[in-house]
Homo-oligomer: A and B are copies of this chain.
Amino acid sequence: MKVVKFGGSSLASGEQFEKVGRIVSSDPDRRVVVVSAPGKRFDEDIKTTDLLIRLADQVIANEVYEDALQDVVARYAEIVTYLELEEAVLKDIEQKLRERIDTYRHDDDRLMDALKASGENENAKVMAAYLTKTGTPASYVSPDEAGMLVTDEPGNARILPEAYGQLYRLRQRKEVLVIPGFFGYSKENNIVTFPRGGSDITGSIVAAGLEASMYENFTDVDSVYSVNPNLVEHPHEMKEITYREMRELAYSGFGVFHDEALLPVVEKKVPVCIKNTNHPDLPGTMIVAERIPDEVPVQGIASDTGFLSINLTKYLMNREVGFGRHLLEILEGEGISFEHTPSGIDNMSVILREEQLENGKEERILTRIRQELNVEDVNIERNLAMVMVVGEGMARTVGVASKATAALADAGVNIKMINQGSSETSMMFGVDDQHADLAVKSLHQAFFPDK
């Protein structure tokens, strides 16, 4: 069985629902459908989730919110009308919204979570009704009924291990099941949304729990590209990519699939297919545990900005047992996670995301470093970008580093940092923020020359 997830743009309008209906009904293996809330119909459109956040904000601020509520209802009305579904479906949506407002008025965080989750929740009901009407018997299954058990902190749900066993029982159901993405229920029976990855993560959890043969993730792109398609004219389409490669790319700036959403399917080794709702016959990109190596070991190039480097200098640092541990302990004391720690014999740097040093942390950390580590110099270098070259087996291939550094040198990009060696799947270059796009373009040109 396949678990099929559709993103917001795949469900933005009645026309899109029709495409989804055809995709689901065309393959009897597509037994579970996970849906997002209706997304943008055109560039300046507002996503349903954002309409719901506005509604929640107005309720919380004790403002008149009737217009905001009707804006939400109108999004569904358009779809329900187009698909010629029963009036009752729409009435139920409006009623549920009013109920949730009444239930959670006393608790701002819970109200926000409950209203945000409504976008997916009501959309799943519409989808189930539509599928059934068009000859594919389908049921809406609430995350509660599905057993989607999560932790209880509002807006920061984490799946609980027992959820997987409960989800597995859904295999017994005969009809197509439609499950809303983006949230679960805590043991305290609260609606709690996921912090990141939205419906992707629900789909991944459901696919893992059901031990699906495949997790199909329908979006609005034909495939995952080897580089940000906004940067390069003819980006290379990836046919097949491993979990590790996808994770490195997602982590380093690829928006197509949130890296945290991969974890459940990785653990159960469920293959993932990224496909386009608008071109469902195209093969898309497969994300798998192992792949047959290409001639070119490089699969993709990504970049992410907003890093800084804390640089320490101390003569004979490398002789001092405990120096590195002490430094990392100071960072840990402020709850800071770091990316890389390049070191020379008298130097050590720690690369981290800039926002991690906010709220006085920077000052406290620098003070402790000066006082406790007795360094000669400590300084902070800002505006760094990390550019990643990703591909399985790169570490075993002679010449990848040479090709990459030559491309950067030819483009006049100064490499401030190289980290290669621990991961067999990636090579990292630290460059100036302002050189990040140039670096990515020149690397893409080097590894995927225009045909």
CA distance A251 to B184 in the complex (A): 56
Residue A329 CB within 8 A of the other chain: yes
CA distance A332 to B323 in the complex (A): 9
- Nearest B residue to A397, CB-CB: B414
CA distance A338 to B413 in the complex (A): 31
Residue A64 CB within 8 A of the other chain: no
- Nearest B residue to A407, CB-CB: B402
- Nearest B residue to A408, CB-CB: B402
CA distance A41 to B421 in the complex (A): 46
Contact partner of A325 (CB less than 8 A), chosen from B325, B412, B428, is: B325
Q: Contact at B425–A421, with CB atoms within 8 Å?
A: no
Residue A82 CB within 8 A of the other chain: no
- Nearest B residue to A427, CB-CB: B418
User: What class of interface size applies to chain A in its complex with B?
Assistant: 35 or more
Determine how many copies of this chain the complex contains. 2
Q: Contact at B315–A248, with CB atoms within 8 Å?
A: no
Residue A340 CB within 8 A of the other chain: yes
- Nearest B residue to A328, CB-CB: B325
Q: Pick from A207-215, A232-240, A346-354 the stretch touching chain B.
A: A346-354
Chain B residue contacts of A309, Cβ below 8 A: 421
Residue A135 CB within 8 A of the other chain: no
A residues at B contact (CB < 8 Å): 244, 247-248, 251, 260, 263, 266, 309, 311, 315-316, 318-322, 324-325, 328-329, 331-332, 335-349, 395-399, 401-406, 408-410, 412-423, 425-428, 430
Query: 22 interchain pairs (CB within 8 A)?
Result: A244-B346, A248-B345, A263-B315, A309-B421, A339-B345, A340-B342, A340-B343, A341-B343, A342-B421, A344-B423, A349-B421, A349-B422, A396-B414, A401-B408, A401-B418, A402-B405, A402-B408, A402-B409, A403-B409, A406-B406, A416-B421, A419-B421
